[in-house]
């Protein structure tokens, strides 16, 4: 089976084409600046990449260009589009109705549309990709893999907020959390690396990137996660604030900010950027801290401390911990972050091996000391592969 996986953002489109015999990536790429001018397509086939600069008005046109590249004489890996067996779509928000990947039907599309108010930037773009594929490849199965699905196993006490219960019953205001596909993939892969059944393990997964979240994965099930109804809470992120007292938000509004201005502050002007005044990229902030910037050092320390707190809290929630997994851009590549987070957790039986951690970037590894009771791992995430596997299973 050849599976095409699409991840449609508000103005972007990521894609990967898998040959599921051996789970090989035949081609992949990124379409940027859809509908806003200056569109760019980077297409990779094997070891070679090409860059294209067409004018792309919408996602339908972007997908048409992708399909042309996949079948083109120079860029193609398919003789014709009939080789595509099924298409998997990353959908950000599935609400409470979608607790696992599903074959897309009219009812599923309706449920995704119902979740648009919960993810107004992402779900409409995800739907555009679905509509476009249904039009261009009629009869080919489409599968939706939801970012929120993995966390639907959380107990009520983990996802209901301490506000009047009517807001949950009537408006479904609750913790949903995100990055579920990533947490699912890396926790399962960590169990494989350790040679143990995931049903026997208590794991804290740390998806740390420009957007970050942690999850408590108890015997393969998410029982708590740091993001909430939206994507701004939890640990400090690139431009997002992390956990903030609600009184702070009310105070900022009383100082004159509107709801839309407050949203802009919390999502685009806070986090590493807001505290450091340097950048939203941790590499830049860590460099500034090394060069003596006190605000940059403070931003780093807030990040390290917030991740450390969640790890310890989730160990308490699960009644123990067997492994800590780092993934995503920061988690996979910043040995300083991993060392700073683990430092101080020795009381829990966590012991890092500096020789294994130092300089490790983007590779699978166990970086804890041999005598560490709690194993620490780096596992590069591969959400697209998990989506492709779900798509293959459901399309069959």
The pLDDT tens digits for 177-206 are 999 999 999 999 999 999 999 999 999 999
Does position 98 have pLDDT exceeding 90, yes or no? no
Burial (CB < 10 A; 0-12, 13-18, 19+), residue 300, is buried
Q: Which two tokens stand for residue 359?
A: 């300089």
Shared domain check, 19 and 87: yes
Shared domain check, 228 and 98: no
The closest of 34, 50, 182 to 42, measured between CA atoms, is 50
Shared domain check, 246 and 112: no
What average pLDDT score do residues 116-128 get? 85
Of 10-14, 249-253, 255-259, 333-337, minimum mean pLDDT range: 10-14
Is residue 172 domain-resident? Answer: no
Q: What CATH number did the domain enclosing 8 receive?
A: 3.30.420.40
Shared domain check, 210 and 140: no
Q: For the chain, what's the residue count?
A: 396
Q: What is the pLDDT of residue 358?
A: 94
Q: Checking phi first, is residue 207 left (phi over 0); if not, alpha (psi -120 to 50) or beta?
A: beta
What average pLDDT score do residues 5-34 get? 91
Is residue 234 domain-resident? Answer: yes
Shared domain check, 352 and 223: yes
Shared domain check, 221 and 125: no
What average pLDDT score do residues 100-128 get? 89
What is each CA distance from 55 to 51, 81, 133, in whole angstroms?
A: 13, 23, 20
The count of structural domains within the chain is 2
Is residue 178 domain-resident? Answer: no
Could you read off the pLDDT of 281-325 as tens digits, one per residue?
999 999 999 999 999 999 999 999 999 999 999 999 999 999 999
Shared domain check, 336 and 266: yes
Q: What is the pLDDT of residue 46?
A: 87
d(CA 225, CA 215): 4
Q: What is the pLDDT of residue 277?
A: 96
Burial (CB < 10 A; 0-12, 13-18, 19+), residue 22, is exposed
Is residue 96 domain-resident? Answer: yes
Shared domain check, 352 and 266: yes
Q: Which two tokens stand for residue 105?
A: 């039907």
Is residue 305 domain-resident? Answer: yes
Shared domain check, 117 and 238: no
Owning domain of residue 104: 2-146
Shared domain check, 288 and 347: yes
Shared domain check, 255 and 351: yes
Could you read off the pLDDT of 162-172 as tens digits, one per residue?
999 999 999 89
Shared domain check, 200 and 136: no
Does position 392 have pLDDT exceeding 90, yes or no? yes
d(CA 127, CA 39): 20
Is residue 175 domain-resident? Answer: no
Residues 6+ apart with CB under 8 A from 389: 20, 23
What confidence category does residue 12 fall into, taking pLDDT thresholds of 50, 70 and 90? Answer: confident
Is residue 208 domain-resident? Answer: yes
Is residue 156 domain-resident? Answer: no
Q: What is the pLDDT of residue 121?
A: 74
The residues carrying an active-site annotation are 147
């Amino acid at each position: 089976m050849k599976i095409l996986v699409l991840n449609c953002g508000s103005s972007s489109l990521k894609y990967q084409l898998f040959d599921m015999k051996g789970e090989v990536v035949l081609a992949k790429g990124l379409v940027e600046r859809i509908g806003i001018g200056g569109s760019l397509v980077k297409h990779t086939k094997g070891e070679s990449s090409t860059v294209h600069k067409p004018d792309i008005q919408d996602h339908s046109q972007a997908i048409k260009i992708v399909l042309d590249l996949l079948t083109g004489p120079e860029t193609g890996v398919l003789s014709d589009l009939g080789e595509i067996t099924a298409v998997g779509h990353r959908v950000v928000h599935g609400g409470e109705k979608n607790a696992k990947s599903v074959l897309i039907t009219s009812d599923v599309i309706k449920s995704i549309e119902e979740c648009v108010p919960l993810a107004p930037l992402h779900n409409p773009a995800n739907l555009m990709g679905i509509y476009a594929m249904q039009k261009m490849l009629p009869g080919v199965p489409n599968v939706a893999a939801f970012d929120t699905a993995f966390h639907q196993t959380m107990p009520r006490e983990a996802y209901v907020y301490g506000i009047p219960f009517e807001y949950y019953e009537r408006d479904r205001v609750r913790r949903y959390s995100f990055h579920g596909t990533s947490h699912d993939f890396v926790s399962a892969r960590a169990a494989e690396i350790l040679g143990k059944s995931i049903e026997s393990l208590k794991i804290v997964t740390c998806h740390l990137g420009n957007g970050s979240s942690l999850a408590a994965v108890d015997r393969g099930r998410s029982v708590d996660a740091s993001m909430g109804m939206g994507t701004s809470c939890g640990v400090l992120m690139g431009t997002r604030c992390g956990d903030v007292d609600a009184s702070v938000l009310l105070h900022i509004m009383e100082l004159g900010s509107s709801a839309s201005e407050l949203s802009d502050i919390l999502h685009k002007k806070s986090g590493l950027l807001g505290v450091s005044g340097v950048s939203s990229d941790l590499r830049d902030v860590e460099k500034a801290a090394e060069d003596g910037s006190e605000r940059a050092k403070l931003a780093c320390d807030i990040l390290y401390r917030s991740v450390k707190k969640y790890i310890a809290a989730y160990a308490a929630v699960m009644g123990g911990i067997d492994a800590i997994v780092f993934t995503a851009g920061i988690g996979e590549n910043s040995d300083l972050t991993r060392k700073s987070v683990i430092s101080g957790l020795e009381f829990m039986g966590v012991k890092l091996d500096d020789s294994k951690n130092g300089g490790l970037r983007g590779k699978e590894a166990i970086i804890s000391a041999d005598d560490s009771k709690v194993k620490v791992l780096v596992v590069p995430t591969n959400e697209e592969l998990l989506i492709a596997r779900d798509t293959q299973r459901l399309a069959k």
